Amino acid sequence: MGSRTRSLSAARACRTRRGTIRTHAVPSLRGCRSLFYAGALALVCACEGARAGGVDGGLAEAGAAADGAVGDAGLAATVLRREPALAAMPVFDPPVPRPERISSTFGPRWKFSISDYDLHPGIDYVDALGTPLTAIGDGTVEGVYPTGSAQFPEGGNVLVVRHPLPAPLWFHGRSVDRIFAVYVHLDAFAVAAGDTVTRGQVVGTMGRSGVTDYVQLHFEIRVQTMCSLQFQTLAPTASCVTGFDPHVHPFLFVGGRDEDAITIAEIPPAPGEALALRYTAGRGDLDLDVIDTDLGTLGFVERRGLDATTLARLDDFDYGWLRLDPRPFTSIDERLVMELHFPTRPRYVEMRDVYGKGVRVELAR
Ligand SMILES: [Zn+2]
């Protein structure tokens, strides 16, 4: 808990339109306003936090239609849906038997092993050493790369399986028709390059080969090309060049929990900042994609607003108009927290998931 947050948890009860009661914890902060929303039949529950003197302020509640504006004590919010950067095609299966066991999700994170930020290009699934890993669909083994390979110097044993899409998708202004499933840190391989695989076939086992602190499957989905934009920048005439970075959120193809229950709270800004927000997601919402404001937009799936030509730039979360501070998250944490720090106060902030669903808060000047 950073000194800037000074949060006290308080249990709040909110009533949904269906009449059920859900209780959740929201930060109780001096001057803070919090927003909670859930699902299409949205529950929106806004509160003003502790007032001067340390006594909690009143709790304002309002139901909201899926696209309805919600009035509350000074914080206008809308639950919305927009076109996603890439349409979900969840016709594939997860590569692990227990896909809910996630230690890192796609996107900005605090990486423990380097004590620094990185933009995580996949999902880390955790389980026991030797857990069978399976093909997400019918496909062909593109490559098998043992520990020490030039292609994946830190990945240990890496397996890549190519899967055709059942129908083309539109991505970065072009039609795409295939994905690559990338399995990293394997203990053992069960297939060889060129093999045809079928959905559910065991292709290897979970391990801790390569640079990792624990047994996990680092799993990526790359769209259309195996070549990162970093590689394409270094080798612009390579046959794999597409002009875009291929890493996308694996949930788009292998599915994942999608509960639409997040909290956005205002927290005290640091010196020199105009606004600071805290985004909190539970394990049902490890699917953030877009942060959109009138000052700038970030889109992690599309690499919008990001410079993916070098890892150093991709992993630098200071975008000038926004500085992201994802807090540490592990396989046992129930909540994923990221702070957003703005040197200039935006007029609005939208945060949307990979399916295009999200929430918009209007921020008075
Ligand atoms: Zn990883």
> For the segment 21-49, what is each residue's pLDDT rounded down to a tens digit?
232 333 322 223 333 333 322 222 222 22
Does 310 map to a domain? Answer: yes
Does 91 map to a domain? Answer: no
**pLDDT for the residue 44:** 29
Task: Looking at the structure, tell me whether residues 130 and 237 fall in a common domain.
Answer: yes
- Report the alpha-carbon distance of residue 164 to residue 139 in Å, rounded: 7
H helix runs in the chain, sequence order? 229-234, 251-254, 311-314
Task: Looking at the structure, tell me whether residues 55 and 185 fall in a common domain.
Answer: no
**pLDDT for the residue 111:** 85
CA-wise closest residue to 292 among 350, 346, 250: 350
- Indicate the residue among 231, 254, 277 that finishes a domain: 254
Distance 85 CA to ligand 1 centre (A): 22
Residues 6+ apart with CB under 8 A from 144: 158, 159, 160, 189, 191, 192, 193
Distance 61 CA to ligand 1 centre (A): 39
Does 3 map to a domain? Answer: no
Task: Looking at the structure, tell me whether residues 219 and 331 fall in a common domain.
Answer: no
Task: Looking at the structure, tell me whether residues 241 and 211 fall in a common domain.
Answer: yes
- Indicate the residue among 220, 254, 288 that finishes a domain: 254
Distance 63 CA to ligand 1 centre (A): 38
Task: Looking at the structure, tell me whether residues 265 and 204 fall in a common domain.
Answer: no
| 297-299/247-248 β-pairing | unpaired
Distance 212 CA to ligand 1 centre (A): 9
Distance 40 CA to ligand 1 centre (A): 31
Distance 120 CA to ligand 1 centre (A): 6
**pLDDT for the residue 123:** 98
Task: Looking at the structure, tell me whether residues 263 and 276 fall in a common domain.
Answer: yes
Stated length of the chain? 365
Distance 122 CA to ligand 1 centre (A): 6
**Is the Cβ–Cβ distance between 198 and 135 less than 8 Å?**
yes
Strand partners, 318: 323
Per-residue tokens: 338: 């990221």
User: Which domain range does residue 198 map to?
Assistant: 102-254
**Is the Cβ–Cβ distance between 322 and 275 less than 8 Å?**
no
Task: Looking at the structure, tell me whether residues 135 and 215 fall in a common domain.
Answer: yes
**Is the Cβ–Cβ distance between 35 and 46 less than 8 Å?**
yes
Task: Looking at the structure, tell me whether residues 245 and 269 fall in a common domain.
Answer: no
Distance 229 CA to ligand 1 centre (A): 18
End-to-end Cα separation, the chain, in angstroms: 28
DSSP secondary structure letter of residue 270: P
Task: Tell me how far CA of residue 331 lies from CA of 1, 103, 278, 284, in angstroms.
Answer: 18, 4, 20, 13
Task: Tell me how far CA of residue 106 lies from CA of 43, 220, 227, 248, 261, in angstroms.
Answer: 26, 9, 18, 8, 18
**pLDDT for the residue 270:** 93
Distance 314 CA to ligand 1 centre (A): 15
DSSP secondary structure letter of residue 19: S
CA-wise closest residue to 59 among 67, 50, 68: 50
CA-wise closest residue to 290 among 64, 83, 45, 33: 83
Per-residue tokens: 114: 């380097």
CATH number of residue 203's parent domain:
2.70.70.10
**pLDDT for the residue 77:** 67
Distance 121 CA to ligand 1 centre (A): 7
Distance 103 CA to ligand 1 centre (A): 9
Distance 362 CA to ligand 1 centre (A): 34
Does 2 map to a domain? Answer: no
- Report the alpha-carbon distance of residue 191 to residue 10 in Å, rounded: 52
**Is the Cβ–Cβ distance between 224 and 248 less than 8 Å?**
no
Distance 33 CA to ligand 1 centre (A): 34
Does 328 map to a domain? Answer: yes
Q: Which residues of 62-94 are buried (b: 16+ CB within 10 A; e: fewer)?
A: bbbeeeeebebeebbbbbbeeebbbebeeebbb
Distance 183 CA to ligand 1 centre (A): 10
Task: Looking at the structure, tell me whether residues 277 and 238 fall in a common domain.
Answer: no
**pLDDT for the residue 116:** 87
Distance 227 CA to ligand 1 centre (A): 17
Number of CB atoms found within 10 A of residue 205's CB:
20
CA-wise closest residue to 186 among 127, 137, 116: 127
DSSP secondary structure letter of residue 269: P
Distance 24 CA to ligand 1 centre (A): 30
Task: Looking at the structure, tell me whether residues 243 and 262 fall in a common domain.
Answer: no
- Indicate the residue among 191, 220, 254 that finishes a domain: 254
Task: Looking at the structure, tell me whether residues 239 and 169 fall in a common domain.
Answer: yes
Distance 44 CA to ligand 1 centre (A): 34
Which amino acid, residue 206? M
| Residues, beta carbon < 5 Å, ion ligand 1 | 124, 218
Q: Which residue has the tokens 């001096």?
A: 30
Q: How many domains does the chain have?
A: 2
pTM: 0.81
Distance 133 CA to ligand 1 centre (A): 16
**Helices and strands of the chain, counted as H and E runs:** 3, 27
Does 92 map to a domain? Answer: no
Task: Looking at the structure, tell me whether residues 247 and 222 fall in a common domain.
Answer: yes
Distance 286 CA to ligand 1 centre (A): 14
Q: Using CB atoms within 10 A of its CB, is residue 42 exposed (0-12), middle (13-18) or buried (19+)?
A: buried
Does 237 map to a domain? Answer: yes
Residues of the chain with pLDDT under 50: 1-75
Distance 155 CA to ligand 1 centre (A): 10
Does 89 map to a domain? Answer: no
Q: Which residue has the tokens 């949205």?
A: 42
**pLDDT for the residue 325:** 97
